[in-house]
Chain A
């Protein structure tokens, strides 16, 4: 499956214009980097993000990915200038959401580390990740209604699944912002920490996940995400098959052996 796609060697991590990237302790870190625009999301940024995520997804040295912005903003929305004069046909031809569909197909766990504004497309990008760590200063919201549109990158679907219909309806219809503490109480995010520590906390979570057997992590992510697409019956079927499949992995043998021998396992990702 990977053979047709670009793989590990043909990418220069320093060549990106709108993102900064690094790799440490088996985690890939991507920082959105349009600080003068509060990291507003535009097509070139999304193109770079997807290119980098795809590369990280195929790099066996990377086992978990952290996506972050800066202290003032994760991403304050989409670049409105890009859309102000667009017609429906322009939007169809532009096909900007194709990048978001691609992010959904990333196999490795994505941890969003959020400080400041995560609004509109920024909030949707955060929700596209698998887990969210936020600073106490984070502000979330889907304010698209104020521009005469609605969330277009999954906001109405993912927010509703996370916080329930009544809350999502109010947030999307009023465009009101909400705090990190509210997001935590409503189950949208995983943890809130002081602003000085949000990135570190996200990296720590990513490092913990990176220490787990990668094939099992991948199956686990797929199974949890399956919940949103299927009935319980087929979700349970999917889970069971993934469970059986893992018995073909070397890491399963090592994990169970180490447990019985009362020692720490050494996972190989095979």
Chain B
């Protein structure tokens, strides 16, 4: 399969099926300029199509995870006193990233190695897991420059931590440290800086050996549950279980259970 070359991110597929995507503009705290956002969209599409990818581990190079939109980037800078078209920038660049993270049918783990601000925080919220370093922090900085939180933040954050807390974080734009993030359920685990990547790779490696198809169906189920009534959802769930029941991994899972051994899932 044709592989793209990336310049502003690192795309490394390990032999165990874990794909590491590292945002790589460390001198800018990995802020999104046009190129990085388009490369991330392409990387996620490629990961979705490549059957060898069983789990995605997203992180940032250097001391930050992602500082969000690069305010000096040409697509949003204000020139000649005219307003930039932020709506179009969001539709073309951030909407596809968030939508793909939520709908691509493989687990996505985010290793938050440092500050995650603005759209950088939103990208972390859209992942399936957030593992944070002790020095990591989240800032919904939009309000500080007079903008509304974007990249799905107002949809995702209240679902992660509740409306009251989400409102607080987004209205004040205050910084949330790793300890508070753990306490309010914004991250799943916190590790010392030096062991974050080792722990994250270990965890992603475990997910890479899991029933990938079932993980994908699980994401489909949770996404559907957010948008429909109970009865519609229950019918949908029956369809998904019908599909899961036909997978090779289900056969393997049942055999392993009966034979009292660990299952060897192929992801199919």
Contact = CB atoms under 8 A, between A and B. Distances in A.
Interface string B204-248: 000000000000000010000000000000001001101100100
Contacts of A205: none
Contacts of B246: 196
A194 interface: yes
A194 B221 CA distance: 11
Secondary structure dominating the interface of B: helix
Contacts of A194: 220, 236, 239-240, 243
A42 B67 CA distance: 52
A193 B243 CA distance: 11
Nearest to A193: B239
A197 interface: yes
A197 B236 CA distance: 11
- Best-buried of A193, A196, A197 by chain B (most CB within 10 Å): A196
Interface in B42-66: none
A68 B243 CA distance: 20
Nearest to A197: B239
A156 B199 CA distance: 58
A196 B236 CA distance: 12
A28 B232 CA distance: 31
Contacts of A197: 239, 242-243
Contacts of B220: 194
Interface string A174-201: 0000000000000000000110110000
A238 to B, nearest CB: 36
A171 to B, nearest CB: 20
Contacts of B243: 194, 196-197
Contacts of B236: 194
B224 to A, nearest CB: 10
Interface string B166-188: 00000000000000000000000
Nearest to B220: A194
Nearest to A201: B239
- Best-buried of A193, A194, A197 by chain B (most CB within 10 Å): A194
A193 B220 CA distance: 12
A197 B245 CA distance: 13
A196 B246 CA distance: 10
A194 B240 CA distance: 7
Interface in A93-122: none
A267 B238 CA distance: 32
B246 to A, nearest CB: 8
Contacts of B239: 193-194, 197
Interface string B7-32: 00000000000000000000000000
A138 to B, nearest CB: 15
A192 to B, nearest CB: 10
A63 B240 CA distance: 30
B218 to A, nearest CB: 13
Nearest to B213: A196
A61 B68 CA distance: 63
B120 to A, nearest CB: 29
Contacts of B242: 197
Nearest to A136: B220
Contacts of A193: 239
A170 B82 CA distance: 31
B223 to A, nearest CB: 11
Contacts of A196: 243, 246
A194 B242 CA distance: 10
A145 to B, nearest CB: 22
Interface in A61-113: none
A193 B240 CA distance: 10
Nearest to A196: B243
- What are the 7 A-B residue pairs with the smallest beta carbon separation, nearest first? A196-B243, A194-B239, A197-B239, A193-B239, A194-B243, A194-B240, A197-B243
11 contacts: A193-B239, A194-B220, A194-B236, A194-B239, A194-B240, A194-B243, A196-B243, A196-B246, A197-B239, A197-B242, A197-B243
Interface of A: 193-194, 196-197
Given A194-B220, A194-B240, 9 more contacts: A193-B239, A194-B236, A194-B239, A194-B243, A196-B243, A196-B246, A197-B239, A197-B242, A197-B243
